[in-house]
Amino acid sequence: MPTILTCAVTGTFPTRQHNPALPVTPEEIADACLGAAKAGAAICHIHVREPSTGLPSMKLEYYREVVRRIRESRSDLIINLTTGAGGRYVPSDDDPAKAAPATTLTTPEARIAHVIELKPEICTLDLNTMWFGGGAVINSPRSIAIMAEAIYAAGVKPEMEVFDTGDIVLANELVANGTLKTPGFFQLCMGLKYGMPPTPEMMAMAKSMLPANSVWSGFGPGPHAFKMLAQAYSLGGNCRIGMEDTVHIARGEPAPSNAALVEKAVRIIKELGGRPATPSEARAMLGLAG
């Protein structure tokens, strides 16, 4: 069985101060996706940013341009759009009941508007509620259910992002009550602060807790990125890499591009005895219509 390799090209936290090669504009993000696809990625996971500042954005026009550029290229890359934006609450210091300016928390409908219009093959669906990146990420079961129903209705497959064991407990409950369909596609997000530690034991445990017949992938951030990639492969899972996860291709060496990170990931997978899945093989493995 080949290994599905996802490239997460920009995310929200890295900046060009961390690595000047980070893609920021819609054109750069689309080009990064196409470069990653040529290097061996079957899926690209996409956030967008404000071109003038590099800050995270939810603007539909940016998503629209990225998706248009990829589709017009005739690449068979699988597009995976994030729905994580809009889930952060930062309490004010003087009155925690009031949101500080950095809060992005919004309605579940607003968080998936770009998915409903653009209809990628995959979009993420975060199951975590945790303190993360200076704020509380809030994904209530009610919001998850609203988003899941609309995602399925749009013909899109959700990739469930789980950051801790409680998220997987919630996933099993949502499968049992019919909110989530099976077989599901899960991303084990290892090593984010206050979440699951990036260890072989923890990844193996998380895998064992997933709903039956799940397809899964795993990653780790920063110095754990390639170690967790190898661990995910070794446990029979799929893999993720990209500048969202690490801006370095080796210790102290900035990655020249997302494609270079993918090329290294492909080498690791091959050296461990595997091979990366083509987009058509990934579609078959994930039960996508394409």
**In terms of residue numbers, what domain contains 185?**
5-286
Is the distance from CB of 144 to CB of 174 less than 8 angstroms?
A: yes
Q: So what's the pLDDT on residue 58?
A: 96
Quote the number of domains for the chain: 1
Q: So what's the pLDDT on residue 197?
A: 98
Q: So what's the pLDDT on residue 173?
A: 98
What six digits make up the tokens of 75?
A: 């690449």
Q: So what's the pLDDT on residue 125?
A: 98
Angle at 65 between CA 137 and CA 278, to 5 degrees: 80
For the whole model, what pTM was predicted? 0.97
Secondary structure string (H, E, C) spanning the chain: CCECEEEECCCCCCCCCCCCCCCCCHHHHHHHHHHHHHHCCCEEEECEECCCCCCEECCHHHHHHHHHHHHHCCCCCEEEECCCCCCEECECCCCCCCECCCCCCCCHHHHCHHHHHHCCCEEEEECCCEEECCEEECCCHHHHHHHHHHHHHCCCEEEEEECCHHHHHHHHHHHHCCCCCCCCEEEEECCCCCCCCCCHHHHHHHHHHCCCCCEEEEECCHHHHHHHHHHHHHCCCEEEECCCCCCEEECCEECCCHHHHHHHHHHHHHHCCCCECCHHHHHHHHCCCC
pLDDT in tens, the chain (290 residues): 999 999 999 999 999 999 999 999 999 999 999 999 999 999 999 999 999 999 999 999 999 999 999 999 999 999 999 999 999 999 999 999 999 999 999 999 999 999 999 999 999 999 999 998 889 999 999 999 999 999 999 999 999 999 999 999 999 999 999 999 999 999 999 999 999 999 999 999 999 999 999 999 999 999 999 999 999 999 999 999 999 999 999 999 999 999 999 999 999 999 999 999 999 999 999 999 76
What six digits make up the tokens of 219?
A: 């990653």
Q: Which CATH number covers residue 207? A: 3.20.20.70
- Residue 106 CA to residue 189 CA, distance in Å, equals 23
- Residue 288 CA to residue 63 CA, distance in Å, equals 21
Q: So what's the pLDDT on residue 290?
A: 60
Q: For tokens 């669906």, name the residue.
A: 125
Q: So what's the pLDDT on residue 262?
A: 98
Q: What are phi and psi of 209, to 5 degrees?
A: -90, -15
Angle at 207 between CA 194 and CA 8, to 5 degrees: 65
